[in-house]
Chains A and B, each alone.
Chain A
Amino acid sequence: MERIPILKMGPYLLVTIQVDMHDRVALGLQDDLTQKIVQARAKGVLIDISALDVVDSFIGRTLADIAAMSRVLDAETVVVGMRPAVAITLVELGLPLTGVRTALNVERGMALLEAAITRREDGDADIH
């Protein structure tokens, strides 16, 4: 089956979705990512969707599920590179991706992940 590669870079996992996904490929990514988060003890996941010219409710829900699952596994997710036409369409569709962190590009996404992780570690330090 077609699979989307997941790259590990330090405490982060990077995913670039290059193709229009079949539903099963999207679900496969969800499974692979959750396993990889645990295996790699990842602190953050960055998903680049700049190549996607359509995000329908299924793909949108998959992205939201990935964000929710990774949060439960103690990792932050940020989705980057959404095309403006996709953003307009998603909101009109009724799926504003509440609960999913987004950033304009990979650079800003990485900065957002780093800030979120630092904040979280500081928060932990306060508790101890």
Chain B
Amino acid sequence: MPTFTSEQRLIRSTEDVLGVRQMVRARAVELGFNLVDQTKIVTAASELARNTVQHGGGGAVTVEAVEEGGRKGLRLTFEDRGPGIADLDLAMKDGFSTAGGLGLGLGGARRLSSEFTIDSKPGEGTRVTIVRWR
């Protein structure tokens, strides 16, 4: 049985991205995710944590064990109080980047997750929630 329900971690620098990967990996293992599913959610978390630093100016992630209709999953919520995203459709597109990266972060994280939601208000910040079911 998972020994945690919810855990939070600050993301302030790219060094913290590594810590987020390790934390999500440990939780996914605890929940009994297979290796491919572990790798997918850890990679999605890495992309979103980096976005939180590079675009949001830092923030936090909340990691929760969730259960619905007998299935178990992991929910990750990334929040920042950065400038927000003016055009969400554009930001979700592969190859669109304002940070000189590959522009795979949001679209890639969505493809690697079972559920993906994003809320963003210009001037207030961004919240991205993903769920991966086991």
- Which of A's residues lie within 8 Å of B, judged by CB? 20-24, 53-58, 61, 83-86, 88-89, 92-95
Contacts and interface: CB of A to CB of B under 8 A. Distances in A.
Interface string B21-61: 11001000000000110111011001100100000000000
Given A54-B43, A56-B47, A86-B39, A92 B101 contact: no
B115 interface: no
A21 B14 CA distance: 11
A85 B112 CA distance: 12
B36 A22 contact: no
Nearest to B14: A23
B32 to A, nearest CB: 15
27 contacts: A20-B21, A21-B18, A23-B14, A23-B17, A24-B14, A24-B15, A53-B25, A54-B21, A54-B42, A56-B50, A61-B101, A84-B36, A85-B35, A88-B36, A88-B39, A88-B40, A89-B36, A89-B40, A89-B112, A92-B108, A92-B112, A93-B47, A93-B104, A93-B112, A94-B104, A94-B108, A95-B102
Interface of B: 14-15, 17-18, 21-22, 25, 35-36, 38-40, 42-43, 46-47, 50, 94, 101-102, 104-105, 107-108, 111-112
